[in-house]
Structure 1
Amino acid sequence: MVATEVGDKRVDYIPGNSSIRLVDFPLKDASFRSRRLLQLALATIPWAEKSQYLLFPSIYELEPQAIDVLRQELSIPIYTIGPTIPYLSHNQVVSTNHDYINWLDNQPLGSVLYVSQGSFLSVSSEQIDEIANGLRESGVRFLWVMRGESSNWKNICGDKGFVLPWCDQLKVLMHSAIGGFWSHCGWNSTREGLFCGVPFLTFPIMMDQPLNSKYIVEDWKVGWRVEKEVKETVLIRRDEIARLVRRFMDLDDYEVKEMRKRARELQQVCQSSIASGGSSENNMEEFLGHILHGAKP
């Protein structure tokens, strides 16, 4: 873990990126698992220069400076083809026969916080307990995907929470009752949240998640951090969580209104990118043209 006094310092000289806190770099987690994943990721970088093409599951309009720098540094075509997630209409969402969709159908518009910490990693059981009690004390409606023994938490979470071991995340995020997304900020979840126009409460764990959280909060301005301060040992208490969630889901709060407005604007950017004439659509057509017609990049 980066020491507190160092972690809050910023690096502002990485081409194509705005300033980044040291604590948001993948180096902050010193566990063997984290180091191993970082080593595997770094090992793939030399292969980029040997490739004929680079395809990124991102959208040019979300990070144009970074993509432009890569195009300057590498002599191969670079295409953003994101968000690379299946598109669902509202009709497809409401026609799905699941208990959690039926529950969402009976909740007010934009009133439910969707909570998911991902399927790969998790936080400590002590932190999970604080999150569960904080959500309950907030008085906010929430749908929480809890991997493993989700049934053990149902009584703790109260009558405003719906706890389950799995859901179709994209369908949930597209539901009109969802007003926010408590997320670990994995890239897949980040893309889906942006595509669905949902603001974030960010709770990253490791690897690229803190950087994704940084972009959500600081660059795109469509979310708030759950962890407000850089600390050596982090345990977010239930009273902090309750206050934050209560305000985040307050539709009358001016800052929340502006954040939701920006989330809807980014949703339009994401959906326009895959429409006819959009940046991702054009990139995919150009890439396929090279492949199908044997043109050299």
Structure 2
Amino acid sequence: MKKAAAGVAGLVLAASGLIAQGVTSEAPDASVKDARKVLKHEAAIPGTSWAVDPETDKLVVTADRTVKGDDLDQLKDVVDDLGDNVELEKSKTEIQPYTAGGDAIYSAERCSAGLNVIMAGNPFLLTAGHCGKTGSLWSDKQGLTIGTMVESVFPGDDYALIKYKDEGTYESAVDRYEGTQKLFTVGTPAEGMQVERSGSTTGLQRGRITGLNATVNYGNGASVDGLIQTDVCAEPGDSGGPLFSGGMALGLLSGGSGNCKVGGATYYQPLNEVFTKYNLSLPQ
């Protein structure tokens, strides 16, 4: 089990000129902040998401194929009222949380392992919060018990902590599906950053960050804010897997639209927020 866990998640320093502590982006202007508030209050419709396009500085609202009829009319009215800084795009795919990572992990659903972390001297595994509930038991692909999910946060955010059953040594490495890669630090995402993602359904995929502080409305009132948006493809089962750039860990896959045949958008829970809240560190 420890060998399997070692390949579960991780990252390494970026070789593309990125510094280890990451890069910060400019704060959105007041009009964009106000528009986000209006959308959250008046247009949190299942199948919608919004994020700032770094090339135009506009807030782009995306409606997937399930948004139609009165919901679509309402969304159009809200976007029109917000003026030229906000635009609406219609997607032919469907936004969904990707349940089923780095390496595969199993409970009621299959998800992907995010990365190994240390909290208060004990080893834990990070994954997506929508993958399971507090108290659920998790196993690896051999059926061996990994541990128990002791914290699950979803909606609002999307992350979970699984406490390992065995207090052994767990490396900070990501499964590249052609070997593993060491992870050294947790960084701050930036628009345009070249990134990679590892997941148990589609393996290693590449792309770039296309937006920050994105909001996604998955349905049944489940909205998640503050997400990283990318053009990296993913599919169900990749949920919880790590987003990284070189040796820098950035996020955990929450969900998205499309697949790895047609492409699409994917959304990630930022790791720096989780590491700060729980005083986490990476295994040395």
TM-score by length of structure 1 reads 0.25
Tell me which protein shows more strand as a share of its residues.
2
TM-score by length of structure 2 reads 0.26
Larger Rg: 1
**Bigger relative contact order, structure 1 or 2, given CA contacts below 8 A and separation 6+?**
2
Tell me which protein shows more helix as a share of its residues.
1
